Amino acid sequence: MLQESDIIPYHISQPAGEKVLVLAPHPDDETLGCGGTIRLLLESKKSVKVVFLTSGDKADPSNKLSKIRHRENPPLHPEDEQGFRNTAHLTEYALLREKEAAAALNVLCVSDYLFLRFPDRELHKYFKSARERLLQIIKEYLPDTIYSPSPVELNPDHRTAATLSLEIQRTGTENSRPERIIFYEVTTPLRPNMLIDITSAYRRKKRAIKKYRTQLRLIDYLGQITSLNVLRTLTVKGPKYAEAFWCVNEGWRRQDLLDWLGYKGIITEEIQGN
């Protein structure tokens, strides 16, 4: 019979990565999912770059700023262009979210960030364009680690970000292939193999979350993420707050990923035992 420690870590790990690229499908994901770890990395003199894949233009259609549109679309891969060039999706609301992101990152002391501005909730339609842009960024920045939302997230853009991360790790050149992908959780708890004590960085993370005023009006993200960070201390003694991650090193095969997500060897053992 497997014990709890065979399923979830019972120890704290150090934040992974010397040169880190954080993918945020929308402004706020980076702070909600790994804001404490980002701060700890920077305190340890690591390099952190945040890339926002969309500007979250569809989060609140009722907001009057969502009606004010600008024709400023990102460059696209030829196979993604059809039906997109005449779509002006960038709005004043999206630009406001970008301003909030800049304020939140300033609290975390992140100075290196970029907005790619793909359409919100449609990232999967522009997969090749997003991959092309990210590969260009990676060739210039040369990160050893990518932090991304996990494949089990609810939002489609979050799941697309996870697929992009794995695709980049699989197809990148030798000089631009990240050593590890580290998945973080926002809307859906994942099966972690890494827990980071963010107690010392929690107050700063909380201040950063509060900069996302438009999103906090919609959902109590601060309360929910705080609860999740408290829950993640269940198996470790000492920390008041922790962030959970699933670290996938370069050697993981597709079947390894599926086995991990499917709890192979855990659920099957219980079912067979009954």
Task: Return the pLDDT at 177.
Answer: 86
106 or 73: which leads in pLDDT: 106
Strands 47-54 and 19-24: parallel
**pLDDT at residue 83 greater than cutoff 70:** no
**pLDDT at residue 85 greater than cutoff 60:** no
- For Cα atoms 239, 241, 247, give the angle at the middle one, nearest 5 degrees: 95
**pLDDT at residue 74 greater than cutoff 80:** no
Task: Return the pLDDT at 270.
Answer: 54
**pLDDT at residue 273 greater than cutoff 60:** no
Summarised one tens digit per residue, pLDDT across range 27-37 is: 999 999 999 99
Task: Return the pLDDT at 269.
Answer: 56
Using CA atoms, how far apart are residues 130 and 128, in angstroms rounded to an integer? Answer: 5
Residue 48 near residue 145 (C-beta atoms within 8 A): no
**pLDDT at residue 56 greater than cutoff 70:** yes
Confidence bin at 79 (pLDDT 50/70/90) = low
Mind listing the domains of the chain with CATH numbers? 12-273 (3.40.50.10320)
Tokens of 119: 């359409």
- Radius of gyration of the chain from Cα atoms? 19
Task: Return the pLDDT at 263.
Answer: 83
88 or 186: which leads in pLDDT: 186
Task: Return the pLDDT at 142.
Answer: 94
Q: What is the mean pLDDT of the chain?
A: 91
Task: Return the pLDDT at 103.
Answer: 98
Summarised one tens digit per residue, pLDDT across range 186-240 is: 999 999 999 999 999 999 999 999 999 999 999 999 999 999 999 999 999 999 9
Using CA atoms, how far apart are residues 197 and 229, in angstroms rounded to an integer? Answer: 9
Task: Return the pLDDT at 54.
Answer: 95
Give the 3-state secondary structure of the chain.
CCCHHHCCCCCCCCCCCCEEEEEECCCCHHHHHHHHHHHHHHHCCCEEEEEEEECCCCCCCCCHHHHCEECCCCCCCHHHCCCCCCCCCEEHHHHHHHHHHHHHHHHHCCCCEEEEEECCCCHHHHHHHHHHHHHHHHHHHCCCEEEEECCCCCCHHHHHHHHHHHHHHHHCCHHHCCCEEEEECCCCCCCCCEEEECHHHHHHHHHHHHCCHHHHCCCCHHHHHHHHHHHCCCCCCCCCCEEEEEEEECCCCHHHHHHHHCCCCCHHHHHHHC
